[in-house]
Structure 1
């Protein structure tokens, strides 16, 4: 798979990532899924222009803080039951793109405990902020 950084609109970006962030969430369309939480692994990649993410004073406010990714996901989890991973993914993408420094985002979610014969089932979304030149 080619890196998104090879995309012309992202060639001047830095990639920040949160890998395999494990959350317990009430997700699913089946009755048995609505009775409790399931383990979901969330991956986030943020693409931020180097001009907006290269520290000059080695200070946290010069970059996008990793806490932003975790806190954004936590706020979504607090909203209650989610039927589809697609909805979860889309909601997280939208919230990440709302950050003024983020140009693009990739989010994936995976339910690792659905089937015993595979690592997991999931969905992934990649989106570049509209109006990016």
Structure 2
């Protein structure tokens, strides 16, 4: 879990998350990786100010919809082959931060099938929106 303590701007935020979202995508720099899809696990955390995400009427339009995270990932994956997990993370976090209600975002990607002697290899990026 992410600790917001080093970031006072996040103290009054709600944390939304998409956990262990598994997709099959074309990713990698090696020739064998370019010939097929790989399993990638994606995690997203969005930090949204409580003032912008506290429902008064219990309506979806009052909050950031979880579908935003999934559809953002689907759109990026649909664009075609990605060489690096760093590129995928950077692209996703940039789009997540473009949402007007999102103050900060964390995105991680993990390839669980690369090495037989570990659970996975991956990348994580955290960005705070500039005020």
**Short-chain TM bin:** over 0.9
State the 1:5 CA deviation: 5.4
- Aligned residue number for residue 113 of structure 1: 113
CA–CA separation in structure 2 for the residues paired with 1:25 and 1:122: 14
Structure 2 CA distance, aligned partners of 1:49 and 1:104? 10
Q: Is the 8 A contact 1:5 1:13 kept in 2?
A: no
Alignment correspondent of 1:64: 64
Whether 2:69 is the aligned partner of 1:78: answer no
Computed over aligned residues only, the root mean square deviation of the Cα atoms, in angstroms, reads: 1.1
> 1:17, CA displacement in angstroms?
0.1
Taking the aligned partners of 1:21 and 1:70, their CA distance within structure 2 comes to 8
Aligned to 1:99: 99
Matched with 1:89 is: 89
- Aligned partner of 2:39 in structure 1 is 39
Structure 1: runs of 5 or more not aligned:
none
Matching residue of 1:130: 130
Q: Which runs of 5 or more structure 2 residues have no equivalent in the other structure?
A: none
Change (3 A) 1:62 1:107: same
Where 2:91 maps in the other structure, the secondary structure is: helix
Find runs of 4+ consecutive structure 1 residues off by over 4 angstroms. none
Partner residue, 1:11:
11
Cα 1:79–1:2 shift into 2, 3 Å: closer
CA distance in 2, matches of 1:81, 1:36: 10
Aligned residues: 131
Displacement of 1:2 in angstroms is 5.7
Q: What TM-score do the two structures reach when normalised by structure 1?
A: 0.96
